[in-house]
Structure 1
Amino acid sequence: MGSAARFPFPAAILAGGRSQRMGRDKFLLPLGGEPVIRRVARLLGSVFSRVFVVAARARPFEELGFEAAEDLLPGNDSLGGLHAAVSRAGAPHVFVAGCDMPFLQLSLLRGLASRAAEADVVIPLREGYPEPLCAVYGRACEPAIRGRIEAGRLKMVGFHEEVRVVRVEEAEWRAWDPEGLSFRNLNTPEDYAWALDAVAGEEEGGDAG
């Protein structure tokens, strides 16, 4: 982010995925000389006041040097992680990202964060669908998320019916991230191979953001 001020709220990395298609822990995959999760944290740390990891078990991430928080309502998939992120943020807002999103563009992060005060959720739409693991959430989301979990309704965006939501259309966010790189994640070995090639290209010609 250079000399620009960071936004006065944190970012949370959700690290609860099972990595079944990858066959190993995605967050530890080496990319550009560092684990994927460290790259994600570095990008987020350029924009937000602090970065913490949300996971079922905090210790593996604390051993890597991260601030980490465990799910408060375990066993509830990504929605449980989102609940922990909002609850543990210690701030009115929190940006939430997945642990396998190594191409987050700083301009997109700033663009979404700049609209945090407008609603309880600021979320981009890609091809008409929301991207809940690249979005800003407000403290006011906590009761709605908790209620959904208690009812066994674990759809990530289901609680949006109960809060104020700004949906950032593709025409807007493409100005910040023309190629949609922020949404490239690592679900399969093919995704990882693509990421290795992309990072090699960065090293030759420049960085994300």
Structure 2
Amino acid sequence: MSDVEDVTAFVLAGGKSTRMGKDKAFLEFRGRILLARALELAAGAGQEVRIVGDPRKFAAFGQVIEDIYRERGPLGGIHAALKSSSTRLNLMLAVDLPFVQPDFLKYLISVARETKALVAVPRAGDGLQPLCAVYRQEFAQAAEQSLVRGKNKIDALFGEVETRIVGPEEFSHAGFSGQMFRNLNTPEEFEKAAKMTNEEPRLETES
């Protein structure tokens, strides 16, 4: 089996980008829009790449999956992605994570393959990173049950299903920095990140 044979990669591009004031997917970051960067990252991790979002905006960039449960945030997008998938493992990658390294995604997928947990999710900075995580198809059932109940929080589900948390000590030992998950939610954060000299941020204070 190849590294990507049993993996579909999804770029989550359906966020409202309220604090940014414009659609983050089309923001130019070092000469390329964030969506293009995310699609390239995803292509190295999955046998097929799909975009989760609005087909009217993203159809020109590839296959687009629409939410089944509309206006329900990232959990609705993850649910729709998993319902559309035919592969055992499914990488979810937010469109606004330009510092994530290709090798980290491969590392995360390898962790997911070695566990029976429904989710392999990194923990870094201010908490879990469910928008850069690997989900098994079976997670769709738990997501749907939560959405039907009107509960949209992804993290709450991690306490209800078997979850493999990849802590900062673990992936740091493998050579990766949690700073790759830095937020790009506001114009100020975006401008600061764009001015960084290194493609992959590294802070010595990372614990």
Residue matched to 2:140:
142
1:53 to 51, 54, 77: 51
Q: For 1:53, what is the secondary structure of its paired residue? A: strand
1:95 matches 2:61: no
CA displacement 1:38-62 (0-9 Å, x = unmatched):
101111212221221111x222111
Deviation track 1:118-157 (CA, whole Å, cap 9, x = no partner) reads 1210011114721111110001111111000000111112
Which letter maps to 2:79? Answer: H
SS at match of 1:13: strand
The 5 A counterparts of 1:170-189 are 170-176=168-174, 178-189=176-187
| 1:71-130: CA deviation from partner (whole Å, max 9, x where unpaired) | 011121111011011111221111111111111112221111002231210011114721
Q: What is the CA–CA distance in structure 2 between the aligned matches of 1:129 and 1:189, rounded to whole Å?
A: 22
Describe the SS at the equivalent of 1:137.
strand
Alpha-carbon deviation of 1:176?
4.1
Identity %: 32
* Bigger mean CA offset, 125-134 vs 76-85: 125-134
TM-score for both structures, normalised by structure 1: 0.86
CA RMSD, 1 decimal:
1.8
- Match of 2:164, SS state, is strand
> 11, 31, 34: which is aligned to 1:33?
31
Amino acid paired to 2:73? D
Kindly provide the amino acid, as one letter, of the partner of residue 82 in structure 1. I
Secondary structure, in 3 states, of the residue corresponding to 2:122?
Answer: strand
SS at match of 1:114: helix
Runs (4+) off by over 4 Å: none
For 2:175 and 2:59, how far apart are their aligned partners in 1? Answer: 32
Aligned residues: 196
CA positional deviation for 1:7: 4.9
1:165-189 CA deviation, whole Å, 9 max, x = no partner?
Answer: 1111110112345432330232011
| Structure 1 gap segments, 5+ residues each | 203-209
What is the alpha-carbon distance in structure 2 between the residues aligned to residue 77 and residue 47 of structure 1?
24
Match of 2:153 in 1: 155
1:205 corresponding residue in structure 2: none
